[in-house]
């Protein structure tokens, strides 16, 4: 669900066109080979090589060990051939809501090659959001090929890529024919709200209040379960496959793994972080629960569900069947927000991260036992790395509209031509001018869970300028993040002092300072912001021999990187509180815009019947 992509479309160079990590010289002016965006014969992070010995403290024991193993002049710097061939790398597929990417990380967790491709998002009706499942697959395959071209151009070989990890948008639902391997319909994307009537009915069904106790999620338009129910009701092709016991269901990770392995190998799996977003998995046993399946009316004899496995495993996910990485094993899989938490090295209870992508997603590590929220948050699996380790759980709060609000200003209102310029537009005014923008394009998620809200702008006067609305758009994400933080404090009984951030909007200093001011806590932004892709690479690297070995090693590597930025609160707390009360009032006034009055006259069962005659 959501994504933390920070780069532009089809950019070949590491960290793309948005200038992420620009201070380290990524795609800087000293690099050559401009046609491909590959950093020529030089390094990813400038002329000294990616975090080579010129960049790291030589007194550190970990670095001495790594250097002893053959890294003398920095990865992708000018190295001796033997040293170059002794290096190992981990690949990472990052399949998000608006684009797919493939990155290759070195042992220092720096990207040395990458490629990104944007694809079309489909909105056939109001509230609908779809993807072409084939386009998701082809974009990933193309990214792998292009990134490997960069990788081999620099003198490396496929044999040095020890494994691949996958991270993906969660909840997005794919249905395919398990006989032919062909998609049966468009993928239904996580923010899609066509299921709101089904959700309303399910909430009235006996036992509905017990569902969160089993799976950690409240009934909403969000999870995969209600998307599958809608397809079984309304799509004749999916319905017929179900009746014929040909239907295969999965989230995007399952679809990619199934196809990348080759359909003849029938590798149909998912990891616990993705399975926890379907509402079919028991959060305590980490296996499918018949009570949950029965509640949604799903017959496993007619619908094949993916096998649930840990997030890090050397065998369960199979291997790439063809292309530039043919034969390389897939060893890690994490839903995108869990992957970002891992990429931020949030391995300890009490650590939290916020990813500002298409949506905005905050995860709080609450240890090896799930915490069921009393304040509108989700209980989910943070990561599950197997090998005798206990699974780790998290509290999660989700904001439906983050970076997509900026794109709305650009694509729908024409305020800007480049989404990275929204901060400049917002800074043309000193404050929001009294404007509050409740960006409820798909209702409001945690901790509000208001399905019938719509995007609403309050406070417009003749004084209002584009800059006021731009600033109010950025503030909307920050206000909703504060609401989630307050709910987390209540559930965990712990006051958060620091919030780690990543994702596209985190590149904006104005947004991050606004977040610190509104929330009243310190905001920390890492130098290397490809944390979502890095998390999947970490999951894969931990699964195979000869790569990373433990959490302490990974944390040490991360903390040694230069360029970390800290934003401290500057606004008076009373002023921040006044602004927040203003926001809360606007949220209350945005309710009730989505109402289907005609449903009151219809004679329908309180529970959706998937065997009812579907309509097209």
Question: Does residue 211 surpass a pLDDT of 60?
Answer: yes
Count the neighbouring beta carbons within 10 Å of the beta carbon of residue 294. Answer: 11
Distance separating alpha carbons of residues 191 and 180, to the nearest angstrom: 29
Count the neighbouring beta carbons within 10 Å of the beta carbon of residue 328. Answer: 19
In the DSSP assignment, the letter for residue 410 is I
pLDDT for position 5? 47
The residues facing 251 across adjacent strands are 173
Q: Is the peptide bond before 447 cis (omega within 30 degrees of 0)?
A: yes
pLDDT for position 331? 97
Window from 21-25, 164-168, 348-352, 452-456 with minimum mean pLDDT: 21-25
Question: Does residue 35 surpass a pLDDT of 60?
Answer: no
Sign of CA dihedral 479, 485, 491, 497: negative
CA distances from 464 to 47, 448, 460, 468, 469 (A): 47, 28, 6, 6, 8
pLDDT digits over 52-80, tens only?
A: 333 333 334 444 444 344 333 334 444 44
Give which of 428, 406, 429 is closest to 419, Cα–Cα: 406
pLDDT digits over 495-533, tens only?
A: 787 899 988 888 899 999 999 999 999 999 988 878 999
pLDDT for position 560? 76
DSSP H helices, 113-159, are 133-153
pLDDT for position 563? 81
CA distances from 505 to 141, 168, 407, 473, 485 (A): 27, 19, 11, 12, 18
For residues 123 and 129, is the Cβ–Cβ distance under 8 A?
A: yes
Give the position of tokens 């905005």.
Answer: 360
pLDDT for position 594? 65
**Tokens representing residue 607 in the block:** 């529970």
Residues comprising the chain, all counted: 616
Window from 8-12, 165-169, 283-287, 564-568 with minimum mean pLDDT: 8-12
pLDDT for position 36? 41
CA 399 to chain centre: 12
Sign of CA dihedral 269, 117, 539, 356: negative
Position 187 confidence tier, pLDDT thresholds 50, 70, 90: very high
Query: Which SS3 state, helix, strand or coil, does residue 392 take?
Result: strand
Distance separating alpha carbons of residues 557 and 169, to the nearest angstrom: 27
For residues 474 and 504, is the Cβ–Cβ distance under 8 A?
A: no
| Mean pLDDT confidence for 606-615 | 44
Mean pLDDT of the chain: 84
pLDDT digits over 78-104, tens only?
A: 444 555 668 999 999 999 998 999 999
Question: Does residue 34 surpass a pLDDT of 70?
Answer: no
Q: In terms of pLDDT, which residue wins out, 354 or 449?
A: 354
For residues 197 and 599, is the Cβ–Cβ distance under 8 A?
A: yes
pLDDT for position 81? 53
pLDDT for position 79? 43
CA distances from 122 to 38, 158, 186, 504, 615 (A): 32, 35, 9, 22, 20
**What percentage of residues in the chain have a pLDDT greater than 70?**
82
Longest dimension (CA), the chain: 77
Distance separating alpha carbons of residues 256 and 320, to the nearest angstrom: 10
The residues facing 188 across adjacent strands are 130, 173
pLDDT digits over 261-307, tens only?
A: 999 999 999 999 999 999 999 999 999 999 999 999 999 999 999 99
Give the position of tokens 């043309």.
Answer: 428
| Mean pLDDT confidence for 172-182 | 97
Query: Which SS3 state, helix, strand or coil, does residue 495 take?
Result: coil
**What percentage of residues in the chain have a pLDDT greater than 90?**
61
């Amino acid at each position: 669900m959501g994504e933390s992509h920070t780069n532009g479309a089809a950019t070949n160079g590491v960290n793309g066109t948005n200038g992420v990590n620009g201070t380290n010289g990524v795609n800087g002016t000293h690099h050559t080979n401009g046609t491909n965006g590959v950093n020529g014969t030089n390094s990813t992070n400038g002329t000294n090589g990616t975090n080579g010995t010129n960049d790291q403290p030589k007194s550190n024991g970990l670095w001495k060990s790594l250097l002893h193993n053959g890294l003398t002049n920095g990865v992708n710097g000018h190295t001796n051939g033997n040293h170059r061939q002794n290096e190992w790398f981990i690949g990472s597929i990052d399949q998000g809501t608006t684009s797919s990417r493939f990155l290759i990380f070195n042992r220092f967790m720096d990207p040395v090659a990458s490629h990104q491709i944007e694809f079309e998002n489909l909105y056939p009706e109001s509230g609908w959001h779809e993807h072409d499942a084939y386009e998701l697959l082809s974009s990933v395959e193309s990214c792998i090929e292009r990134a490997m071209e960069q990788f081999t151009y620099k003198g490396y070989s496929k044999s040095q890529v020890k494994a691949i990890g996958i991270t993906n948008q969660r909840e997005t639902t794919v249905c395919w024919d398990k006989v032919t391997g062909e998609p049966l319909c468009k993928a239904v994307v996580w923010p899609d709200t066509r299921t709101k009537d089904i959700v309303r009915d399910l909430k009235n069904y006996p036992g509905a209040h017990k569902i969160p106790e089993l799976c950690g999620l409240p009934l909403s338009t969000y999870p995969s379960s209600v998307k599958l129910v809608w397809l079984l009701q309304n799509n004749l092709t999916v319905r017929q496959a179900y009746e014929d016991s040909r239907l295969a269901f999965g989230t995007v990770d399952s679809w990619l793994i199934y196809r990348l392995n080759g359909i003849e190998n029938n590798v149909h799996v998912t990891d616990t972080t993705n399975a926890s977003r379907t509402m079919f998995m028991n959060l305590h046993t980490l296996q499918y629960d018949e009570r949950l399946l029965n509640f949604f009316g799903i017959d496993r004899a007619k619908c094949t569900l993916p096998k649930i496995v840990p997030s890090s495993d050397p065998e369960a996910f199979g291997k790439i069947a063809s292309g530039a990485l043919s034969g390389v094993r897939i060893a890690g899989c994490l839903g995108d927000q869990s992957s970002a938490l891992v990429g931020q090295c949030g391995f300890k209870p009490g650590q939290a991260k916020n990813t500002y992508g298409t949506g905005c997603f905050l995860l709080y590590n609450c240890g090896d036992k799930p915490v069921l929220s009393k304040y509108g948050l989700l209980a989910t699996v943070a990561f599950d790395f197997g090998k005798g380790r206990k699974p780790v759980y998290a509290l999660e709060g989700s904001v439906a509209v983050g970076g997509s609000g900026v794109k709305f200003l650009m694509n729908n209102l024409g305020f800007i031509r480049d989404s990275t310029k929204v901060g400049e537009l917002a800074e043309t005014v000193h404050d929001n001018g009294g404007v509050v923008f409740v960006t409820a394009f798909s209702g409001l998620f945690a901790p509000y869970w208001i399905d019938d809200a719509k995007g609403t702008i309050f406070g417009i006067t003749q004084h209002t300028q584009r800059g006021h609305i731009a600033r109010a758009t950025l503030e909307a994400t920050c206000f909703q993040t504060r609401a989630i933080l307050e709910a987390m404090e209540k559930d965990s009984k712990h006051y958060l002092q620091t919030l780690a951030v990543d994702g596209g909007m985190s590149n904006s200093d104005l947004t991050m300072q606004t977040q610190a001011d509104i929330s009243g806590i310190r905001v920390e932004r890492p130098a290397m912001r490809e944390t979502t892709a890095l998390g999947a690479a970490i999951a894969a690297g931990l699964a195979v021999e000869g790569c990373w070995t433990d959490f302490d090693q990974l944390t040490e590597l991360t903390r040694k990187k230069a360029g970390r930025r800290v934003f401290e609160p500057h606004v008076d707390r009373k002023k921040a509180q006044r602004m927040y009360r203003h926001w809360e009032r606007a949220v209350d006034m945005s309710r009730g815009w989505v109402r289907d009055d005609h449903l009151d006259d219809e004679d329908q069962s309180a529970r959706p019947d998937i065997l009812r005659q579907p309509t097209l």
